Amino acid sequence: MNHLYIIGTGPGGLEHLSPTAHAALGACTDLAGHGLYLNLLGHLAEGKIHHKTKMGEELARAALALNLAASGKTTALISSGDAGIYGMATVVFELLARDLKSEWKNVEIEVIPGISAMQAAAARVGAPLANDFCVISLSDLLTPWEVINRRIDMASQGDFVIVFYNAVSNKRSWQLLEAQQILMRHRQPETPVIIAFNITRKGEQLEITTLGDLNPVPLNMLSLVIIGNSETRHIGKWVYTSRGYHTKLALVDSNHSQ
Ligand SMILES: C[S@@+](CC[C@H](N)C(=O)[O-])C[C@H]1O[C@@H](n2cnc3c(N)ncnc32)[C@H](O)[C@@H]1O
């Protein structure tokens, strides 16, 4: 059987790796992935053949994984977080859709979900994603900025909580400042904002700030930003977004007093 597992390994810490991902890693002989993510697997990557590729080489990495699996090697293609959220799964399907190699048709593919970085970051601070939210990548490498700009504007008008992935990189930080300007058209400057660095990894840092004070300078490629909506509250060390239960609290109070 030619098997390719596309594994979302979670935000970093192995404690967040799912048992299914654990079992798939145990079953494979070859690992394809970015060096950082293979290293994060620690002892689970030992005894496997490592095929490391660099950032920006996603198409080559996916083709390599398909070739390995097609040649009979049980292979895992490693993605951080969830492989289907700005991860490697879509790259494999884009290649398959092009029908480039007939032997790829014999590869049995299984996509194994992982905890996305936004979920881990949200859990650290409370429940900011508790109501309708959307996720937008600020990277304009593959999506034109006009499209991203429109999505931010629409999400902002719709009062969605917004998570920004790829908010800043070594080469670009202006997108986050421009996003802040768009958001300020529809949101108060006091809106809670969470900045999460290296969540569940060594060097993890979390900062709770406001939309008005959002500063892209300390951010890097290993950080994401959660922008609250009009129902997001910062209470002590917690941030949560209301789902409207406050309208039912009188019911709890009256039940208690009976
Ligand atoms: C190519 S995307 C991969 C997302 C991944 N598939 C997921 O579901 O989390 C890379 C971006 O994810 C975010 N990210 C991934 N892991 C992170 C972590 N541990 N802490 C903070 N942000 C993270 C950053 O915004 C980074 O620029």
Whole-number Å distance, alpha carbon 32 to ligand 1 midpoint, is 18
Average pLDDT over residues 74-90: 98
Whole-number Å distance, alpha carbon 165 to ligand 1 midpoint, is 6
d(CA 183, CA 156): 6
pTM here?
Answer: 0.94
Burial, 142: exposed, middle or buried (Cβ in 10 Å; 0-12, 13-18, 19+)? exposed
Task: Check the CA dihedral 106-88-60-3 and report its sign.
Answer: negative
Q: Is the CB of 163 within 6 Å of ligand 1?
A: no
Q: For the chain, how are helix, strand and coil distributed in percent, rounded to 5?
A: 35, 25, 35
The pLDDT tens digits of the residues spanning 216-252 come to 778 888 999 999 999 999 999 999 999 988 777 777 7
Residue 45 reports pLDDT greater than 90 = yes
Whole-number Å distance, alpha carbon 12 to ligand 1 midpoint, is 9
Report which of 239, 158, 145 is spatially closest to residue 195, judged by C-alpha positions.
Answer: 239
d(CA 84, CA 128): 22
> Looking at ligand 1, which atom is closest to the CA of residue 221?
27
Q: Is the CB of 117 within 6 Å of ligand 1?
A: yes
The pLDDT tens digits of the residues spanning 137-190 come to 999 999 999 999 999 999 999 999 999 999 998 888 899 999 999 999 999 999
pLDDT at 256: 66
* C-beta neighbour count of 174 within 10 angstroms: 12
* 118-241: CATH topology: 3.30.950
Report whether CATH 3.40.50.720 matches the domain 2-115. no
Structure tokens at 89: 């799964």
Residue spans of the domains in the chain: they are 2-115, 118-241
Q: Is the CB of 219 within 6 Å of ligand 1?
A: no
